[in-house]
Amino acid sequence: MAIVHPYLNFNGNAAEAFDFYKSVFGGEFAMVMRFKDVPSEVKMDESEGDKIMHMSLPLGGGTMIMGSDVPQVYGTVTLGSAFNISISAESEEEAKRVYNALSEGGAKTMPLDKAFWGSLFGMLTDKFGVQWMVSFDYNRQQ
């Protein structure tokens, strides 16, 4: 089965966002490339040289989040409600830690609580406008 990696686009603050995600999930960046790192024959706006061309952070289990800053020539990124990144925690404690950390500076849209389907579940929008669902399946412990 293929592995799906969410790819996030930002308006010049990808490095800040990924530093935040690293503080939540831990680990090390698998790759960090800036626009100034592209070969010289590729025409890039010099003012965007320090922006992120590609960045990735492994989250465990073969999953990673990836992202970049969108060059100004492509317009402004508009975040919407079309998707959420869903995190399935390995423990109730991890779910609470991740939910609280990701929601810092953002908005808790559904409190983390026991859901009728047997999971601890909550939803939030982080301070970068990315929507997350955090859960822990109590049946997983058995």
Which one, of 106, 52, 101, lies nearest residue 77 by Cα? 52
Does pLDDT of 96 surpass 80? yes
Rounded percentage of the chain residues whose pLDDT exceeds 70:
97
Segment 113-140 mean pLDDT: 95
Does pLDDT of 141 surpass 60? no
Do 90 and 26 meet the contact criterion of CB atoms below 8 Å apart? Answer: no
**Structural domain boundaries in the chain:** 7-71, 85-141
pLDDT, tens digit, 9 for 90 and up, residues 17-64? 999 999 999 999 999 999 998 887 767 778 888 999 999 999 988 999
Segment 78-85 mean pLDDT: 86
What is the rounded distance in angstroms from the CA atom of residue 11 to the CA atom of residue 47?
14
Q: Please, what CATH class does the domain formed by 85-141 belong to?
A: alpha beta
Average pLDDT, the chain: 92
Strand order in the sheet with 131-137: 85-88, 131-137, 119-125, 107-114
What is the rounded distance in angstroms from the CA atom of residue 53 to the CA atom of residue 70?
8
Q: Please, what CATH class does the domain formed by 7-71 belong to?
A: alpha beta
Report the range of poorest mean pLDDT among 38-42, 90-94, 131-135. 38-42
Report the range of poorest mean pLDDT among 34-43, 70-79, 103-112. 34-43
